[in-house]
Structure formats: structure tokens, C-alpha cells
Homo-oligomer: A and B are copies of this chain.
Amino acid sequence: MDVRTLCLGVLYQGEASGYEIKKAFEEGAFSHFQDASFGSIYPALGRLSSEGLVDCTQMAQEKRPDKKVYKLTDKGNDALITSILVPPSPDKFASDFFFVLYFAELLPIPQVALLLDQRIAFYKNTIERMSECDLSAIPAGRQLCHGLGMTVYQSSLDYLEKHKDSFLNKLNNPSKNTSFTNSNRHAS
């Protein structure tokens, strides 16, 4: 999904400045499955504005730099709907954690232990923040996104906590050949 459409999505939920749109990807509603940088958001808003998909209101007040507040137009609303009607392209997942873990045998064992501990802490922290979210008033799609996302974090956390010790053990003593399998798998 290009950044222009992403901006339309954020603005569908209410008017916002470029800075606030960035925050939606940083810590807001979209933070777990989309991202965009200032370097793409500001040019995107410029183009959307010139194409009439958003309206821009210059807020020259306060003691800050001018704030440009963007608002979705009817045309922009239509463009968002058109975009989500096309079949979604495959997920893109890029993880340096997985890449490093893949080559764990090349690292000192304490470093691998630290890597896992930090990952576990990250999952715990993320789950904690996500559970504070009040789901009672939000639409069903948003709820499903939230639940699916949290399930992924929780099962990752469970898996790492369960296998961490035997994994580090195995790195210490590669001859013992215990295999790590998917404990969550159903019978097929």
C-alpha cells in the first residue's frame, strides 16, 4: 500500500496534521502493521491536496510552527474505498531478529541469551500496552485486527519462553540433538 493511501486511511478516522499521521504509524492505531516516514508523508499530503483528495487548513496560531491540518474530502473517501477493494498484496515482513537468530551458532552464547531476553521483554511490553486499549466502542474490523495482532505476540512470547533454555543448552552442546517443533500445531 503506498503512503498516499495510508494517509487517506489515517484521515478517514479524523482530520490530522502530517506530524499526527506519523504518530498513527509510530504509536497509534496502525503501528503494528504499517509504517511511513516524514520523507514520504509530507510529499504524499502535497499530492493528495493538489488532487483534491484532502483539504488543507493552515493553522497559523499558537507558539509553534504553522500546523497544516488535513481533512478527507468525498473524493478522497472514494479513493480510499477503491484502494481497499483491490485484493491486498502479500505481507512484507523483514526481521533482523530472525536473521541474527538464524546464525546464532556464529555468536557468543551470552549475546544470544541477551537477544532472546530483549525479544521476550519486547513482546511482554507490547502485549501490556495493547491490553490497555479499550475495544468496546470500536468497529469490528479494528477489533479483529487487534485480537489477531495480540494473539501473534502472545504465541511468540509463549514459544520463546518455552524453548529458550533448551535452545541455549543446545548451543552449548551441539551434539545433543533435541529438535524444536511447533508445540501449538493441531493434528492433521
B-binding residues in A (CB < 8 A): 1, 6, 9, 12, 29-30, 32-35, 80-81, 84-85, 87-107, 111, 115, 118, 127, 131, 135-136, 139-152, 154-156, 158-160, 163, 167, 170-171, 174, 177, 179-186, 188
Contact = CB atoms under 8 A, between A and B. Distances in A.
A119 to B, nearest CB: 9
Chain A residues touching B, majority SS: helix
B34 A142 contact: no
A185 B142 contact: no
21 contacts: A1-B99, A9-B102, A33-B94, A34-B95, A34-B99, A35-B92, A85-B111, A91-B96, A98-B145, A98-B149, A105-B139, A135-B181, A140-B167, A147-B163, A147-B182, A148-B160, A151-B155, A151-B159, A151-B183, A152-B155, A154-B186
B96 A89 contact: yes
Nearest to A139: B105
A105 B93 CA distance: 26
A4 to B, nearest CB: 13
Given A141-B102, A155-B152, A183-B151, A136 B177 contact: yes
